[in-house]
Chains A and B, each alone.
Chain A
Amino acid sequence: MNEWSSSKRGDLSRRRMLGVVGAGVVVSALPSRSGAATRPGAQARTAGEGLVGAPLPRIEGPLKVRGAAPYAAEFTFAGMVYAALAFSTIAKGRIISIDTGAAEAAPGFVHVMTHVNAPRMRPMMPWASSEKAAGNDAWPIMQDDRVRWNGQPIAVVLAETQEQADHAASLISATYEEEPATTSFAQAKANGTETAVLGGQPVHIEIGDAEAALAAAAVSVDATFHTPYQNHNAIEPHAVTVAWHGNELEVHDASQSVVHNAWSLAQILGIEEHQVHVTSPYVGGSFGGKFMGMHQVLAAASSRLSGRPVRLTLSRAGVYRLVGGRALTEQRLALGAGRDGRFVALIHTGTSTHTPDSPHPELAQFVSYSSYATGTLKIDLQWAHLDMVANAAMRAPGEAVGSFALESAVDEVAVALGMDPIELRIRNEPQADPLTGLPFSSRNIVEAWRAGAKRFGWERRNPTPRAVRQGDWLIGMGCGAGSHMYARESGGAARLTLTKHGTATIDIAAHDAGMGTATVLTQITADQLALRLDQVRLRAADSALPGVVPGIGSSQTTTAAATIIAAQRKAVAELLKLLRRDSPLAGLTADEVTPRDGGLAKTDDPARHESYSSILTRARRDELVVEATGGNPTESEQYSMYSYAAVFCEVRVNAVTGEIRVSRLLGSMDCGRVVNARTAAGQFRGGMVMAIGLALTEETLYDERTARIMNPSLSEYHVPVHADVPEIDVIWTGIPDPQAPLGARGIGELSMNGTAAAIANAVHNATGTRVRRLPITLDQLL
């Protein structure tokens, strides 16, 4: 029992066991349709053996298909009230007055909070400004009469039902004193830009004289690319259910950062970190949008003032108003090559929209740091400041849009040279990291290109644009490369409990918003201990558990793997101390034993074996508990570590209407060892689907006069639907990375990168039109 579930507050929410993401489900392997690393026959294995890599179904699957997995807005407290927000309707200025009278007179009204009566609170701290900071801005939350963006919450209304709260909130009216605001990109640039900052360093790099090399290059492109604002649009809107118990705050959140959020709420509200308990057992998609936000603070503060537990679910429009997304970018991409195809110059500069204190630079240029050997390199990012909601990280921030520009330009150079675009890329493979000079830990993108090309039938591609036609449909093929930097969080920690029944529990504050984390961590634990899956229980997504493991940067599995490996080592050492003198393992050291078949065995003599159950029982112990950390990620200081993607696309473009259909898509990955072939394939496909949206349909539309979002709904912001998504083929090299724990690098964001370019390049091959502005709309092809 952890300290939290043994406490006395026995309400419904508690019963639902927060933190248990999946408990001891017997799982058998089912064949996956793709994936080089697929290993059939998990049923036949002995305990633990071969679990890493197996395409195991998600352990929480039965709960989810029954609709029985509890999400944040499905926890209930006695006496709970519902919240609704009123939003500012100007971009910048002061609130002169807020009239809440009509709302207060509405049926079911319980409470209203505005800047006038809100408790004094500290501002949020942005990501990386402290170990557990997780905000997108540092603005005061309902502390003054300032309006900083159009859509800022100006009142929180509580009522007995959601309908009553919504109605009462609609009766709130405010008057403002407007101030001139910067509401368009053009105006923001005209105001003057600021050199972006990353990790305290200005984003400006020059290696050699790239401009001169470009001017002298035999072949070159020099073009401007545009990418729009976008929103995450997880299907579950942001939601939080909170209750105060004295000075302690219980929070059921939809979050990819429970420990950060507990710490953040404590420091904002002026209480101790241990007084806030955040759980988030099931999250309906996050994609970088569900870290610390204003809504958790508003719910906690209004609950405190009203003395009632509160559920605050953002309306879909509210999600757009409160939670920023991908910033807009304008990128200059210039690439010069010799006649032999060798790159001699790469210039990747540009401007991204930005808000004060936002920790997210939208660094499109990052992709150009290490993709190709170019001799000379020039990087620069400017920020243009707008009065709008703070921009956030959205799946593969920077790289998703940067790889569109870079990989489109590579395609343009290939066309100019009359060279196959894959061969051109291979010709420019760097031998070491072009920027840092560090050796690559494991870079097999060439292999991924070759395997993908073969499987996709790339040799059937006609390199001449607009040459393949079936009736009204023009058909083209294109490709693009993607990469994603390896990350492992240093705050990883886990608690491992082994019992005399031979079962194990792993406690780690990691998150599963659909990535497969719960399944994968259970697999890794069973593998490390040589247990069956049904002997391992995972408790996660609970701030009371060990570890600072945010779902960020595709790092959760690497972070947790290092931690679980460390915990296993510690447990083995402890078990050896407990051995009786007559144990078959007596006298052996940790280096001489290996977990095997639910216990330990002498590595070179497996007959010398004692089960965990026997060791603990004979030592008169009910359980053994160890806690361990994964340590600092020193591997990233010694090696250049990235995951790689080679993406292939076929499109059909209607010559009459300009309609674009993605008819085939293949991702060939090089991401180290794949821990679960099924959930990994899901991650790869998911990123490629989101990139179809990036390429063809998605755009958050700001009214440039008022900075009000005009399409804050799923009807008018177009995410890809079933009809837009072809069967997506996914393969991987499966080559383990010798520097990564378990040989696995990150995969969650990888396939967002390169896919939009593959689509745009296929559109060029189909039509002869090079589109450099996303999304690629019909009118740009007519």
Chain B
Amino acid sequence: MSAESSVIRVNGTAVAPPGDPRVSLLDFLRETLGLHGTKKGCDQGGCGACTLLVDGERILSCLALAVQYTGRDVVTVEALADGDRLHPVQQAFIDHDGFQCGYCTPGQICSAIGMAGELERGVPSHVTEDLSAKRAELTAEELRERMSGNLCRCGAHNGIVAAIAKAHQAGQLSDSGRAAR
């Protein structure tokens, strides 16, 4: 095994995987690495709070075993801002009041960035009309459908949707953060 493939890259830093194969990527980040930005809402794949980016794609880290992510690039909410400068999606969430308690927020933000990649790759959703399109359009209906895996109990949905739409219109949704830049 090469050195590169035996470690997990977390926000650009190589870390050794946990010894216990039961440890989820979510718990590994939160409890071993002390990266608490990624949230645990259910640990069952039901809420989306634990969404983060692996090689640019959004995954639910509570359903991912950390040991399976060696050789992969993990980006969490902590790596989206560039120092004092917030990621455009983060700023849009503040501008549009896309949160209340803030607990679903890191997952919503990472999910939105991951969604942008899916649009570019033409990945269809349940409401996509043209399944053969090379690039999916982000209508309001598409946005809501594609973000429906990220629950928000505070009811900040309108602000979240507005923030994501705004960042998308500005062409800033697919920027996957400091680590990728």
What residues make up the interface of A, taking CB atoms closer than 8 Å to B? 30, 33, 57-58, 60-71, 73-74, 76, 161-164, 167, 232-237, 282-285, 287, 313, 315-316, 513-516, 678-679, 681-683, 685-690, 713-715, 719-723, 725, 727-728
Contacts and interface: CB of A to CB of B under 8 A. Distances in A.
Nearest to A162: B27
A65 B153 contact: no
A287 B144 contact: no
Nearest to B93: A65
Interface stretch (B1-9, B37-45, B129-137): B37-45
Contacts of B86: 62, 65-66
B22 A163 contact: yes
Interface string B5-25: 000000000000000101100
B158 A685 contact: yes
Contacts of B149: 721
Contacts of B76: 67
Given A65-B90, A682-B159, A723 B148 contact: yes
Q: For the side of the interface on B, what is the size category? A: 35 or more
Contacts of B171: none
B102 A64 contact: yes
Given A316-B41, A686-B156, A66 B78 contact: yes
Contact of A285 (B20, B43, B103): B103
B46 A74 contact: no
Contact of A514 (B44, B78, B95, B102): B102
Interface in B47-72: 47, 49
A678 B30 CA distance: 32
A728 to B, nearest CB: 6
Interface string B100-141: 111111100100000000000000000000000000000000
Given A65-B99, A728-B158, A163 B27 contact: yes
B126 to A, nearest CB: 9
Interface of B: 20, 22-23, 27, 30-31, 34, 36-47, 49, 76-78, 80-81, 86, 90-91, 93-95, 97, 99-106, 109, 143-145, 147-162
Contact of B47 (A162, A235, A513, A679): A235
Given A234-B103, A722-B160, A679 B151 contact: no
A64 B156 CA distance: 14
B47 A690 contact: no
Most buried by B among A64, A67, A69, A689: A67
B19 to A, nearest CB: 10
B154 to A, nearest CB: 5
A721 B152 CA distance: 7
B46 A682 contact: no
User: Chain B's interface: helix, strand, loop or mixed, by majority?
Assistant: loop
Contacts of B109: 65
Contact of A236 (B22, B95, B101, B157): B101
A141 B104 CA distance: 32
> Top 6 closest A-B pairs, CB basis?
A67-B37, A284-B103, A514-B101, A514-B100, A64-B102, A689-B155
B155 A235 contact: no
User: Chain A's interface: helix, strand, loop or mixed, by majority?
Assistant: loop
B94 A65 contact: yes
Contacts of B97: 57-58, 678-679, 681-682
Given A682-B97, A682-B100, A715-B42, 13 more contacts: A62-B86, A65-B105, A67-B78, A68-B78, A235-B151, A315-B43, A316-B43, A682-B155, A721-B149, A722-B143, A722-B161, A727-B158, A728-B158
A715 B45 contact: yes
Nearest to B91: A65
A721 B143 CA distance: 12
B31 to A, nearest CB: 7
17 contacts: A30-B95, A65-B91, A65-B99, A66-B80, A67-B37, A163-B22, A285-B100, A285-B103, A316-B42, A514-B100, A679-B97, A682-B100, A685-B155, A689-B157, A715-B42, A721-B149, A725-B158
B103 A287 contact: no
A168 to B, nearest CB: 12
Nearest to A71: B103
A83 to B, nearest CB: 13
A66 to B, nearest CB: 6
A725 B157 contact: yes
A725 B147 CA distance: 12
Given A236-B101, A514-B100, A515-B100, A66 B81 contact: yes
Given A163-B20, A284-B103, A719-B153, A74 B47 contact: no
B158 A236 contact: no
Contacts of B23: 161, 163
A646 B99 CA distance: 25
A62 B94 contact: yes
Nearest to B27: A162
Nearest to B103: A284
A234 B102 CA distance: 11
A725 B153 CA distance: 12
A516 B102 CA distance: 11
